[in-house]
Structures are given as structure tokens and as C-alpha cells.
Amino acid sequence: MGIHLNETRRPANILRKYLFSTLIVIAGVILGVFSKVLDENSSNLLPYFLEVLDIRNVLSRMGIWIFLAVLIVVHSKSPFKSAINVFCFFVGMVSSYYLYTIMIAGFFPESYMMTWVLMTIISPFLAFVCWYAKGEGIIAICISSLIFMLFSRQAFGVGVWYFYIKYNLELFLWVAAIFVLYQSPKQIIKVVTLGLTLSFLTAGINIFWGML
């Protein structure tokens, strides 16, 4: 099994692993606190550029967090390292967000918090699999297509008789995901086509557990 996965994408040597993981934890903590601070302030009290970009609502949705996780995965040196790095990121982000919520904001959103805790627990397993998206062959195509489907679900509303853009910034993330997953024209055409098809087929299924 390991030999077959290595034919999909071969792990590189792990360099500066502890520094990279530490920086990822710090980034997660900063983004968690930043996201909660935005939640605690009315949009009209935020700096104008943050209000125009609607950063507050973007950070409350899954798209941006999936995108950041994918960036971490594709820049990790091995599938095991990608699992560790993504787990560190979500631990930093989720713990700082809810510590701020409980200790400073003064309330305890148990059900919502447990959903994110569950997401953090399963994140290393998903990251391990997603690392092979930047590999070669049909396995890499399928994994990339599933990732692209998630961005498509976030960016577009799709039904039998309608199609619309949900959020402009998530449309930007959708386009950015194409560049992140790109390896060749033939490969990305397959990924986009299959990803959009899966997005249409799963349009009636809530795959984000109410985390939007």
C-alpha cells in the first residue's frame, strides 16, 4: 500500500520541521483571536476595508479554513507532516477562538465548539489523504476533485433550475484553489470538471454539519 501511495506522490526530506509547525500553531492562534475579535465588533465599527471585504462573514464560514488547510497540506514535505501541521493549525485556531469566547466574551457555545473540536480531531486524517492531491495518477485526480468540490459548494448555490454566486470572496478562493491544485492543463481540466459535477450531484446534501 505504501509503495502504491509513493507512486502517487513521494515524500521529500523533512527540513526545519519543528520551526514550521511552531509557526503554524502561532498563525492558528492569531487567526483564531482575530476571528473572534471581529465577531465581537459590529461591522460598522471595523476599518472600512474589512467592512468592504466582509472579512467577518468570510471567517465565520468553512471556505477560508479549508483553503488555509489545503495550503498547509500542499507545502508540507510528507503526508505525515501534513497531518501534524494541519492538526497544529486547527488546535491553535480553535483553542484560541474558544478560550477568548469563554474567558473574555463570557459565554460557552458548547454544541458549536464541539463541532469544531470534532473537525480538529479528524483534520490530520483528512490532511494525510489530501497530501496526495499534488501527486500523479487517478488517485491524485480524485482527491483534488473532492477538494475542488468543497470550494465549489462554498462559492456557488446550485440547483436543478438555478445557479448563483454565494459570496464574492469565496469565488476568489474557488479561483485560487485552481492555482493551488494546478499541475498541468489536462490535469486541472479533469479536476474542475469532476469537481463541479460532484458539486452539482451533492447540492442537496449538507456536508458542513451546519458550520456555515
Given a contact cutoff of 8 angstroms between Cβ atoms, the answer to whether 115 and 209 are in contact is yes
Distance CA 91, CA 117 (A): 8
Cα atoms in the 13 Å half-sphere on the side-chain side of 210: 5
pLDDT at 183: 92
Cα 127 to the center of its chain, rounded Å: 10
pLDDT at 102: 84
pLDDT at 62: 82
Given a contact cutoff of 8 angstroms between Cβ atoms, the answer to whether 115 and 149 are in contact is no
pLDDT at 176: 94
Backbone angles phi, psi at 65, to 5 degrees: -75, -35
- Per-residue burial over 112-121, b if 16 or more Cβ lie within 10 Å, else e, is eeeebeebbe
| C-alpha grid cell, residue 7 | 507512486
| C-alpha grid cell, residue 28 | 492558528
Distance CA 193, CA 143 (A): 13
pLDDT at 49: 52
**Each residue's pLDDT tens digit in the chain (212 positions)?**
656 665 666 665 555 667 778 889 999 999 988 888 777 765 555 555 555 556 667 777 888 899 999 999 998 888 999 999 999 999 999 999 888 888 887 777 777 788 889 999 999 999 999 999 998 889 999 999 999 999 998 888 876 667 778 877 888 899 999 999 999 999 999 999 999 999 888 877 766 544 44
Given a contact cutoff of 8 angstroms between Cβ atoms, the answer to whether 32 and 156 are in contact is no
Q: Pick the closest to residue 116 from 139, 132, 136, 95 (CA basis).
A: 95
> Which residues, in sequence order, are CB contacts of 130 under 8 Å at separation 6+?
69, 70, 73, 82, 143, 147
In the numeric block, the cell 501534524 is attached to: 84
Amino acid at 159: G
Distance CA 86, CA 82 (A): 6
pLDDT at 16: 60
Helix (H) or strand (E) holding 34: helix 17-39
Distance CA 201, CA 52 (A): 33
